[in-house]
Amino acid sequence: MMQVFHVTDRLQGSGIVLQEYNGKFELVAAAKSRKTDGTLWLKWCYPQRDRKPSEKAIPWKLELGNATEAAAALKFFLNQLGH
């Protein structure tokens, strides 16, 4: 599994992880440990099912698809920002 971390808030150590799992790419909310080991801690949530929180937590993520689909999605958002 590939993971690349990008810091969005240096004070809190939080950011976004781009990770690949089973050929699919996703962005996951995360924070990096302040300890010297730099462990990444993914943020987890309880998604709603039938207007009730599910019993099982999952990573707080956005699924982007395979490499081609992920690149197209990210290019789309860059274009929205004028880049």
Query: Mind listing the pLDDT tens digit for each residue in 34-80?
Result: 877 878 999 999 999 899 999 999 999 999 999 999 999 999 999 99
In degrees and rounded to multiples of 5, residue 4 shows phi and psi of -130, 125
Look up the pTM and report it. 0.81
28-39 pLDDT, tens digit each? 999 998 877 878
User: Using CB atoms within 10 A of its CB, is residue 48 exposed (0-12), middle (13-18) or buried (19+)?
Assistant: exposed
User: How far is 8 from 14, CA to CA, in rounded Å?
Assistant: 6
Domain positions in the chain = 2-80
Bridge partners for 33 per DSSP: none
Q: Which residue has the tokens 């689909």?
A: 69
